[in-house]
Structure 1
Amino acid sequence: MVAQATGTDREAADRRPLEVLAALKKLEKKGNHQSARRCRSFANRVFRYGVATG
C-alpha cells in the first residue's frame, strides 16, 4: 500500500508516519474509506510488531 503510493520499496523501519498518512488519504480521496481503515489497521499491527520485536 505505502510502497505503491510513494513509489518506493523500503523497509517498514524506514517509513515515517506522514508517508503512511499520505497513502491513506489517497485511498480516502478515491472514496475507499473501508480500504483505508483496513490498511491503517494493518499498518498499525505491523509497526506495533516491529516495536515489540526490536
Structure 2
Amino acid sequence: MTIASHLQELRRKHENLSSMVEKEQRQPGTDALKIAELKKQKLKLKEEITRLMHA
C-alpha cells in the first residue's frame, strides 16, 4: 500500500467517523461516552494523517 492510498483510506475513515458523530449528536438521549470515543478515534486518525503528510 502506498502512502497516498493509505492517506486516502485514513481520510475516508475520518469522514465516516465525522458522519457517525453528527448522527449521534442529532439523536435524542445520545450517549456522551460513545460520542467521546468516536471523537477520540477521529482525532487519532487526524494525527496519523498529519504525521504521514509531513513524513
- Unpaired runs of at least 5, structure 1: 1-9
**Aligned partners of 2:40, 2:51: CA distance in 1, in Å?**
16
Give the length in aligned residue pairs: 42
1:48 corresponds to which residue?
47
- Point out which structure has higher relative CO (alpha carbons under 8 A, 6+ apart): 2
Given that 1:24 and 1:39 are in contact with CA atoms closer than 8 Å, whether structure 2 keeps it comes out as yes
In the alignment, structure 1 residue 23 sits paired with structure 2 residue 14: no
Which one has the largest radius of gyration? 2
Structure 2 gap ranges (5+): 1-7
Q: Deviating runs (4+, > 2 A) in structure 1?
A: 10-16
Taking structure 1 as the reference length, the TM-score comes to 0.53
SS of equivalent to 1:50: helix
| Structure with higher helix content | 2
